[in-house]
Amino acid sequence: MIDYGKELNTEQLHVVMEERGPILVIAGAGSGKTRTLTYRVARLIEIGIKPERILLATFTNKAARIMLSRVRALIDRDLSYMWGGTFHHIAHLILRAHSHFLGYERNFSILDTDDSSQLITTCISEMGLNPQNEKFPKGDIVRDVISFSVNTEIPIEEVVKRKYPYFYYNVDGIKQVSSQYQIRKKKLNVMDFDDLLVNCKEILLTFPHILQIYTEKFSNVLVDEYQDTNAIQAEMVDLLASNHRNIMAVGDDSQSIYAFRGANFENILSFPTKYPACKVFKLETNYRSTPEILHLANMSIVNNNKQYKKVLRSVRDKGIKPILVPVKDVLQQANFVSQRILELIGEGILLNEISVLYRAHYHSMEMQMEMTRRGIPFEIRSGMRFFEQAHIKDVTSYMRIIVNP
């Protein structure tokens, strides 16, 4: 038997030992969320719940593999029949068994992002729309519009108006392409990643006997990174837990970063409304950051209008106080960071001990150019270096010829 009191802190222990759901766990950054979920699964199995009756939905399949491998190490049980993985993985398993109810063959193929864009491009061409001549959006943009519309359940015209307003005059054409795309996929017996979620939800909603199979199969539903679920994923969870409502949702409203993919942090905020009997637990002990960093983080979100109030506490020793530097634009920012790197090098700090973090890859452009100008060597981990991109290399080659024929 596992000594849970020895292995977990008090906050984690309360979550793991709670008898039944619905349960909402607000897990602050670095608070041992994965450990808590792992021990929760182990605890459920220890008290007699069969592994195949537990459903674990995670943000990545890798996260599920890590958790399940740790559970095996804790209790030495066969978990091969337990379902653990992403929503797409779970939907895929359900559709392989029941897709014929929607008119698909069970051996349907799955389109990746490139395949999806290519099929949409084919639809555009077959409909006589030319992106070059008529300024119609290319296949990858239309795919993004369709995908965002599907995952947020927002109409296509609203998505175009919000994300691609300069293509709004083509919205009727985009809707026609979307319809043709759906027809072609069905005819070819293929689904894209979004179809896995949409079709799974449709089967569960439309065929009560299929829903019953899974509500009876799973007695416990656990969801990781709940703040990053979209509308369809949240509905899938509600359907699969509709019989027993024995659900544990784990996440942090302050860490929702995938709105651009259709994630909606309102899902975690509205959980207690959807499940009035739910118990809310908070993991606020942080094992990752220094007190100074946590103080800055706490103060940064304290005035959020919509949030679960929490104050992260560090178990680590005091560290260096963070510095906030206001700058007027991205150029001044790049100049400051580059100058600071040179100062650190002068103080004896090695380059491989210095990192620059940014929210999105495109934010690195000015930084790359400034560090290149100053002769600072660097590696890019978020994508290709600016000056290594093919079209940039072409331009710089022409410029060299002009300067030095």
Taking only the tens place, the pLDDT of each residue in 43-54 is 999 999 999 999
Taking only the tens place, the pLDDT of each residue in 6-25 is 999 999 999 999 988 799 99
Q: How far is CA 115 from CA 16, 110, 207, 329, in A?
A: 43, 9, 30, 39
Nearest to 376 by CA among 365, 386, 363, 367: 367
Taking only the tens place, the pLDDT of each residue in 144-193 is 999 999 999 999 999 999 999 999 989 999 999 999 999 999 999 999 99
How confident is the prediction for the chain on average, in pLDDT?
91
CA dist 262 and 241 (Å) reads: 22
* Coil vs helix vs strand at 54: strand
pLDDT of 27 > 90? The answer is: yes
Choose which CATH entry (3.40.50.300, 3.40.190.10, 2.40.50.140, 1.10.10.10) describes domain 4-92+200-301.
3.40.50.300
DSSP assignment of 381-397: SSS--GGGSHHHHHHHH
Cα atoms in the Cβ-side hemisphere of radius 13 Å centred on 13: 9
Query: What is the rounded (10 degree) CA torsion for 171, 155, 225, 266?
Result: 130
Answer with the residue of higher pLDDT: 104 or 390: 104
Going by pLDDT thresholds of 50, 70 and 90, the confidence category of residue 86 is very high
Q: Which residues contact 358 (CB under 8 A, 6 or more apart)?
A: 364, 367, 382
Going by pLDDT thresholds of 50, 70 and 90, the confidence category of residue 384 is low
Q: What is the mean pLDDT of residues 354-358?
A: 92
The domain spans of the chain are: 4-92+200-301, 109-188, 330-403
Q: Does this model's pTM top 0.75?
A: yes
